[in-house]
Amino acid sequence: MDLTTGLTGMLPAIILVSAVLSALLSLILIRIYRRAVIRSMNRGTQADGPPSRAEISETKRVTGTLSISTLKPDDTISQEALAAYSRTSDSLRQLGGVYLLAGLAYAVILSLPWMITAGDGFPLMRFVWLALCYAWPTLLTLQLVALTSRRERFLAFGVYGLLLVSAATIARIRNPALDAGLLTFFWLFANAAATLLLTAFMTRRIRAVGSLVLAFVVAGVTGAFLLVTLAGSSDDMLTGISTAGFAMGLGATSLFVLLHLAGFILFAILGWWLLGRLGRAYRHKRMSDQSIMIDAMWLLFGVLQSITLAFENWAWIFTGLVAFGAYKLITHIGFARFFPVMRDKSGHSLLLLRVFSLGRRSEQLFDQFKKRRLRIGDINLIAGPDLATTTVEPHEFLDFVGGRLSRQFIETDQDLQERLERRDISPDPDGRYRVNEFFCRQHSWQMTMQQLAANTTAVLMDLRSFSSSNQGCLWELEQLLKGVSLERVIFLLDETTDRRLLEARLQEIWQRLPADSVNTMQGEATIRLILLSDTAGWNIDDVVRQTIQACDRVSHDRRSSGPSQHGERPDRKSGPGSI
């Protein structure tokens, strides 16, 4: 078997088998991970619940008033908040621009071999057509990282389709021999396989770990194919392996399977080392979880799209790796230019509280919300079953696979203080802040919530599906009214929220607050609600603007309070009562 035949046969098989196995293994692992997190969360002593009514009657009542205001999308936003929101838009545009330039360089490099091997000059429209075909991964990247609305996605894919059709039409006018079906087949041949494979392991359910699993599986599958190919390349080697296998009582089929398994295990060691390298790179902020996922996508396209070039010359198969290298170089330069790693730490740190029973509804909102919100500041949350598989970070997943998940959980106040000290509040190389997830036992989630409320700039509490059964939410509401300025708190509701119960409990909590709590010292306070419904007109950008406004209220208060009270954030060493 010659080298060209071997490369064009082995590489597609490695990629296809790896992608399928990665999808299945990711789905299995992420389900096991979710169950492990839930089991660990339920361990420990049950935390105390909300105060009883006997305790309520003994607490001094306040004389102030608590008003409840339902915000509207067109409510006035401060100039400071609008400026901060504009920075998130600028950051997304810059990110999209970097990936666009990197994608164009990638497409140009993959197009050049076709132009060279054709040997009939350099027809411009042929080059444009090829480049547009190979630029398809750019659209998928922009959809994942920069496009935040249906309108933006529709516009981007519409412009791409228009350019593609225009280039094909002009090319056919200049060369009537070109067949439209052939052009369509070429686009599908270049992009369909990789796109379908990506949908298998980059869905929302397994996206967080899909790229890590793929890196490991590709190494193992490569070893399985290589060992079998190496054994079959020499008659003497094949005879020796067969003799040894038959002596151990193995049949031909068992020996064939064992060879694949041995090759997989040998190269899986390399894959595990690669995962460790990725985990360390993530810990040291040399890359983000998002960039790991995007890089895996581009590498997959690069390998698959360059395979057919090997039929012209086996060396052309490395074009995909060269194109991927150009993509990485441009993204590295672009990130360094627009998103300096050592820029100021987040002044827009957000605590996200929610009703855990929301399930996939919580995932959907969070997926949309974080794309824009993480361009301006970090998001902090207590791990729960609703987002356990959506927010998993590379080092958390590697700890789980390595049997070290328990070290992520907070047991004592010292664990909590150490975790707060390690909280990541600076951006990654791509300008994206991180989600800080706190894993808690039953006895530690309350002190964690109190400390997070004290150590973040604003709080967003998702109360969709709230009812009397959500005792944990009632306790959190009391802590917010008692120790967090309501100027920096936003509540999300919808038609599934028991609003009458919510407002009654809020007023009840208000009446038993001590007179010296942060919200009662002024004699009055306002609860700010966002009602997410089909008729309210809210979109995710409006919610982001309101959370930024809440952060800027804190910044304004700190600037106005004078030097003695000025600070970037509350002291991390403060105790639960400090909130």
For residues 91 and 376, give the distance between their C-alpha atoms in angstroms, rounded to a whole number.
9
pLDDT band for position 328 (50/70/90)?
A: very high
Residue 342, amino acid: M
Tokens of 92: 């997304």
Instruction: Report the SS3 class of residue 148.
Output: coil
- Give SS3 for 467: coil
As a whole number, the mean pLDDT across the chain is 80
Q: For residue 561, is pLDDT > 50?
A: no
Q: What is the distance between the alpha carbons of residues 408 and 398, in angstroms, rounded to a whole number?
A: 11
Helices of type H across 202-251: 207-232, 235-247
Helix (H, G, I), strand (E, B) or coil at 364: helix
The residue-averaged pLDDT of 116-139 equals 87
Using DSSP bridges, classify how beta strands 458-462 and 65-70 pair: parallel, antiparallel or unpaired: unpaired
Per-residue pLDDT at 537 exceeds 60: yes
Contact 40, 441 (CB under 8 A): yes
If pLDDT is split at 50, 70 and 90, which confidence band does 574 have? very low
Q: Hey, which residues does 459 pair with through a beta bridge?
A: 351, 489
Structure confidence by residue, pLDDT tens digits, 15-44: 777 777 877 888 788 788 878 877 877 776
User: What average pLDDT does the segment 252-256 reach?
Assistant: 76
Q: Residue 274, SS3?
A: helix
pLDDT at residue 202, as a whole number: 65
How far apart are the C-alpha atoms of 60 and 451, rounded to whole Å? 25
- Please give the angle made by the CA atoms of 573, 544 and 426, to the nearest 5 degrees: 40
Residues 197-242 have pLDDT tens digits of 777 666 666 777 777 787 778 777 877 877 777 776 667 777 777 7
Q: What is the pLDDT of residue 53?
A: 43
The rounded percent of the chain whose pLDDT value lies above 90 is 23
Coil vs helix vs strand at 382: strand
On the question of pLDDT at 310 being above 70, the answer is: no
Does pLDDT of 461 surpass 90?
yes
pLDDT at residue 556 greater than cutoff 60: no
Contact yes or no for 381/411 (Cβ under 8 A): no
- d(C-alpha 513, C-alpha 520), whole Å: 7
Beta pairing, strands 524-531 & 409-410: unpaired
**What is the mean pLDDT of the segment spanning 62-88?**
83
What sign for the dihedral angle of Cα 69, 72, 78, 81?
A: positive
pLDDT tens-digit series, residues 486-499: 988 999 998 889 99
275 confidence band (pLDDT: 50, 70, 90)? confident
**So what's the pLDDT on residue 453?**
92
E strand or H helix at 538, and its extent? none
CA 298/CA 295 separation, integer angstroms: 5
Report which secondary-structure segment, H or E, holds 15: helix 3-41
Structure tokens at 56: 């309520």
Instruction: Work out the widest C-alpha separation in the chain, in whole angstroms.
Output: 94
Contact 351, 380 (CB under 8 A): yes
Residue 502 has pLDDT above 70, yes or no: yes
pLDDT tens-digit map of 141-193: 999 898 888 888 999 999 999 999 999 899 888 888 778 888 888 898 888 88
Contact (CB, 8 A) for 463 and 473: yes
User: Where are the domains positioned within the chain?
Assistant: 47-86+346-559+574-578
Is 209 within 8 Å of 22 (Cβ atoms)? no
* pLDDT tens digits, 401-415: 777 777 788 889 999
